[in-house]
Amino acid sequence: MPTTLEIVRGRSLGISVHRKRMIGLLALLAGLVVMAVASLLIGSNPISPSLVWQGLWHSYIGDGIAENAQLNEAAIIVQTERIPRTLLALIVGAALGVAGGLMQGHTRNPIADPGLLGITQGAALAVVVAIFVGGITSPLQYIWFAFAGAAVASVVVFGLSSIGGAAASPLTLVLAGTGVSFFLSAMTSAVALSDQQSLEALRFWNAGAVAGRGYDVIGVAVPFIVLGLVLAFANAPAVNLLNLGDDVARGLGQNVAAARSVGLLSVTLLAGAGTAACGSIAFLGLVVPHLARYLTGPDHRWLLPYSGVAGGLVLLVADIVGRVVARPGELEAGIVVALVGAPCFVALVWWRRAVRL
């Protein structure tokens, strides 16, 4: 039996860990606010901070001659370009970060990411087919096709992993996801290589970008992402039990099939909506959960919020860097994330402490 002193020490240690985690989360949120402000101030078109501030509130004129042309141009750039891309980077980064953490938890695989369910490949195939068959080129039009393709791909993977009536296990999910992903990638390449317009769209899609999207795209993606986040955070305690092993989780009263279904639905909503809005953002859902895990440990009740905030921060910083390094042009955020994420992931693999689940 533990003594009273041991119980008090245990409670004090728990309070201390909780306080450190809360402070760390608040620090990440503060960094997110700072980077959001920087995103409004920094761009390929230099604008003074005072003009940016005035441009936030100024009613601009799209057509015609404005009384103050400089302020009018600043307002157009800030309100129609920088604010939407900043919001989209925050939202999609958070969605992909949480989806990656949830995917790694459910598969107990440290190199799992949302692409393991074929979500990215399913979205890409749907977009290419929509362009090839229907001539659709607007992001607002093909976001629905992309989300539908992502959803169908994840359903197929989940169905294949449950063949025979058995519940989907981490191993069968990985095997089914890998097979479906390769098949979808081959189909996408076959369609794109037969049509120049589809090939150009696929090249832009694979780069992954938050620029060129408006509030309409954000409005479509946000409801799915919010629902996915609610399901993810509700699923976090179940993931903690599943990481003890399916048999142990069942012994503790956890419905394994229901928990895994909710988790995979959440991943589909988050990664599907994020990928549909911005294209393929490689390595974000893979690396960010490892960084969060190093700060929080394996408790998904903390790991998922950390992954969400860190994901938004990483994608926002990548977008800002892309605006600066390629002036007067821009480098897509997805390319910047891949350039930085690849060596970071190699470092994490070598640093074995960071990749333990």
Quick: pLDDT tens for 137-153.
676 777 788 888 888 88
Number of other residues whose CB lies within 10 A of the CB of residue 314: 27
Report the percentage of the chain scoring pLDDT > 90. Answer: 23
Tally the C-alpha atoms within 13 A of residue 168's C-alpha that lie toward its C-beta.
27
Residue 165 pLDDT grade (very low, low, confident, very high; cuts 50, 70, 90): low
| DSSP alpha helix (H) spans, the chain | 4-41, 49-57, 69-77, 83-107, 119-134, 139-161, 170-193, 196-207, 215-242, 246-251, 256-278, 284-296, 300-325, 333-350
| Res. 10 pLDDT band, cuts 50 70 90 | very low
% of the chain at pLDDT higher than 70: 89
Q: What is the mean pLDDT of residues 122-145?
A: 79
Domain ranges of the chain: 17-355
pLDDT at 2 over 90: no
Taking CA atoms, 56 is separated from 35, 49, 66, 314, in Å, by 17, 11, 16, 24
Question: Averaged over 230-242, what is the pLDDT?
Answer: 93
pLDDT at residue 321 above 70?
yes
Given this model, what pLDDT does residue 1 score?
47
pLDDT at 108: 81
The distance from CA 275 to its chain's CA centroid, rounded to whole angstroms, is 8
Q: Which amino acid belongs to residue 168?
A: A
Q: Which residues of 136-155 are buried (b: 16+ CB within 10 A; e: fewer)?
A: beebeebbebbbbbbbbbbb
Q: How confident is the model at residue 303 (pLDDT cuts 50, 70, 90)?
A: very high
DSSP-derived letter for residue 167 is P
Q: CA-CA distance, 260 to 228, in Å (whole number)? A: 14
Q: Is 211 helix (H, G, I), strand (E, B) or coil?
A: coil
pLDDT(311) > 60: yes
**CA 5 from centroid of its chain's CA atoms:** 44
Average pLDDT, the chain: 82
- How high is the pLDDT of residue 352? 52
Please enumerate in sequence order all residues whose Cβ is within 8 A of that of 167, keeping only pairs 6 or more positions apart, or say none.
246, 256, 257, 260
| 135 burial via Cβ count (<10 Å: 0-12, 13-18, 19+) | exposed
Residue type, 304: L
Least confident stretch, 71-85, 189-203, 232-246, 314-328: 189-203
Name every residue whose Cβ is closer than 8 Å to that of residue 145 and which is 6 or more positions away in sequence. Answer: 126, 127, 129, 130, 136
Mean pLDDT along residues 178-200: 82
3-state secondary structure of 352: helix
Residue pLDDT, tens place only, 285-301: 888 998 888 888 888 99
347 close to 66: Cβ distance less than 8 angstroms: no
Q: What pLDDT does 185 receive?
A: 85
Take residue 286 and report the two structure tokens written for it.
């893979």
**CATH class of the domain at 17-355:** mainly alpha
Q: Tell me what pLDDT residue 4 has.
A: 46
pLDDT band at 15 (very low <50, low <70, confident <90, very high): low
What mean pLDDT is predicted for residues 271-275? 87
Angle between helix 4-41 and 284-296 (nearest 10)? 140
Is the model's pLDDT at 258 over the cut of 80?
A: yes
Answer yes or no: are the C-beta atoms of 262 and 235 closer than 8 Å: yes
Which has the closest alpha carbon to 285: 352, 236, 343, 334?
334
Q: Is the pLDDT of residue 16 over 50?
A: yes
Greatest mean pLDDT among 62-71, 95-104, 112-121 lies in 95-104
What is the rounded CA–CA span in Å between residue 158 and residue 131?
Answer: 27
**5-14, 72-81, 104-113, 160-169: least confident range:** 5-14
Q: CA end-to-end span of the chain, whole Å?
A: 30
Yes or no: say if 312 and 93 are a contact pair by the CB < 8 Å rule: yes
